[in-house]
Amino acid sequence: MAEFKFLESARVKASDIISDARVYISRVYGRAGELFTTASPFAQIMNVVSELTELIMFYIEDATVEQNIMTAQQSESVYGLARLTGHDPARGFSAVGEIEVRWKPGKQNDVAGDAIYIPTNSQLRSDLNGFTYLMRSANDIIALSTSEVNYIKIPIIQGNIESQQVTGTGEKFQTFNIQTGGTTAHDMVTIMVNGESWRVYDSIYDMNSAAKGVVVKTGVTGGIDLFFGNDNFGMVPPNGSIIAIDYIKSKGSEGNLGESKDVTFKFVDFGFDGLKSEYDLNEFLEIKVTSSPKMGADPESLEFTKLIAPLQSKSFVLATPENYEHFLARYNMFSYIDAYNTTDDQYLDDDNIIYLFLLPDVKSKLIGSQDYFSVPTEEFFFSQSELGAIREAVENSGQQMVTTEIEFVEPDKKLYAMNINVRHFEGYDEIQLMNNIRAKVSEYLLKITRRDRLPKSDIVALIEGVDGVDSVNVQFISKSYEDALRTGSYTVTQTTITPQSPVLEDVGNGKNRILFFKKTVTSKTVTFNADEGIPMEVRKEVTGLDEFGDILLNKEDVAMFRGGWQDRTGATVVDDPKIGALSSMTVNFSNPIPRTVYTQIQSANRKAL
């Protein structure tokens, strides 16, 4: 980028020097013009030296620009500089899932011995995306006994294992940079020293003097960095020792497969029996997918790294809501993350609970020509199995503080529709205009991240930018308000907290907790006079709209412009946006206005403002 080119060549130009050198050579040998060409060794060497020098100057400029996180352009540089702040940029995550395998009927009789053995990390291939998945186990071998009639569960992870090897020097604080190339699974690095597995720690200070451990971080110069100890904190790999590094090269988010029944796998690697005879596992075993691969994520974006690097906690502990937001944001699969606790309210029993309000990045879930209005509504929220995988990722991180628990906040779906009134210029096709408006609004709604309110002026501004639109007005309609008008009543909820004698409550997962306060949530249905309307003091709460007609959102609300509900007259709002008919996005076109020279000038002036 031009603004980062700080080495100005204005004072001395390489071309000037070369030109002078050529003149000098010409004078010495009495050859000039067409007789002194690049066929001459002198001229050729001069040209190549000049080109290489310019390249090196470019590399110097580039290397210097890349030393500043705000001007750096390459991911290795941004990640490396973020590492200096203590932030460990996510190198990506492999999708993880679970399969079950069992014998095909009668096939166990065709195997010699009492079991078939499958080496851990044997490969499967997905029929859906063609990617490789590895079968994982705590042991080296997965054994399926011939007497086993039930399915056995096997965790799987997307990717391929790649290995590298370096040499221990026997020095304290040995450090190695391993160039990995491409996306790798962040938490899936194993280190062996002379064939013995060494544990991966978060910090040198976590290791005692006899700990066979290593710190693995995203590389300051790309790839991954390994840091060994100094005999006071962690053992030192001996001189000449073989340090083997295994990691999983991953496809990131592309490795995620939906919950569909079409998810099937085939064995790639062979199994073997007690006599080491090989067997094509596809002929002997059948596979059932119990949890399709999910939680795969690409390396974190550079913008995100630049934003979050200064906020890194140095404690490596998931304790505060900010720690949780930082931890989860690295998965690159959320459109919104809100972690919070309720230590500032009167209810003390949940003060150790971190509430997680999570919304998926719907944009990454769109298939083919889907947009905001056509994607299935369940894609706007995480399924229970996905939430289970997120909980597992938090728990498996080993960073969760012992006393804290997490609880997922169930998003409260608030349905809305929007009426858009458009006046357009003559000569523009209404269906084409409708498609353009739909595309703009869909893009906006898929990207929206603010959680307090949704202003209709945003939509107006978007549609005004559509070619052919002269004037636009937008109105939001809330389902709750239409329900109240249709039924003549609305519901309000109230939460009260009162002290009580301590009671032991089962909170699931085999855990109990003592409650000192009683939390009571009551709902009350109130009827109102249609002529007087909903009382002002509860109007915003009931309608979900403020005095501007903008959408108001509570912490757990998710505004959705989708159909499947009735308006005040009992007419059904349909999902698919329509022209002039009640729908999630109704576009009403008024009579087009003539496109004169003056309207064109005015339109151009407005765009130029």
Partner 1 sequence: MSLYKDLYKYKLTKKYNLTKSMNDLRRNEGRDYSKDLLKNSLSNHIQRKDIMRDFISFIQDVFVENVKAVTKLKLFKAFAMPKDYHKVK
CB 157 within 8 A of CB 134: yes
- Cβ 173 to partner 1 shortest distance, Å: 7
Least separation, in Å, of the C-beta of 228 and partner 1? 10
Question: Which residue number, 60 or 439, has a Cβ lying nearer to partner 1?
Answer: 60
Judged by beta carbon, residue 64 or residue 491, the one nearer partner 1 is 64
Contact set with partner 1 (CB under 8 A): 39, 41, 44-45, 48-49, 51-52, 56, 59-60, 63-64, 66-67, 80-81, 84, 162-167, 169, 173, 175, 177-181, 219-223, 225, 227, 239-243
Cβ proximity to partner 1: between 36 and 528 the closer is 36
Burial code (b: 16+ CB inside 10 Å, e: under 16) for 162-186 equals eeeebebbeeeebebebebeebbbb
Residue with tokens 């009260």: 496
Instruction: Give whichever of 66 and 483 is closer to partner 1, judged by the CB atom.
Output: 66
Q: Which residues contact 252 (CB under 8 A, 6 or more apart)?
A: 92, 93, 94, 183, 296, 297, 298, 299, 332
Given the complex with partner 1, which of 28 and 514 has the nearer CB atom?
28
Smallest separation (angstroms) from partner 1 to the CB of 209? 20
Minimum Å gap between C-beta 207 and partner 1 is 16
CA 385 to chain centre: 17
Q: Which is nearer to partner 1, 244 or 317 (CB)?
A: 244
Report in angstroms how near the CB of residue 260 gets to partner 1 at its nearest. 35
Residue-by-residue DSSP string for 542-602: HHSB-TTSPEE--TTEEEEE--SEE-TTSPEEBSS-EESSSBSEEEEE---B---HHHHHH
Minimum gap (Å) between residue 52 Cβ and partner 1: 5
Residue ranges of E strands in 462-508: 469-478, 489-508
Instruction: Kindly state the smallest distance separating residue 40's Cβ from partner 1, in Å.
Output: 8
CB of 305 to partner 1, least distance (A): 15
| Between 60 and 503, CB nearer to partner 1 | 60
Distances (CA, A) of 564 to 417, 576, 584, 604: 10, 10, 9, 40
CA dihedral of 503, 507, 512, 516, whole degrees rounded to 10: -30
The CA-atom distances, in angstroms, between 440 and each of 370, 433, 443, 579 are: 14, 11, 5, 16
Closer of 239 and 489 to partner 1 (Cβ) = 239
Instruction: Give me the helix-helix angle, 536-543 and 479-487, nearest 10°.
Output: 120
Question: Which DSSP string corresponds to 92-105?
Answer: -B--EEEEEEEEPT
Length of the chain: 609
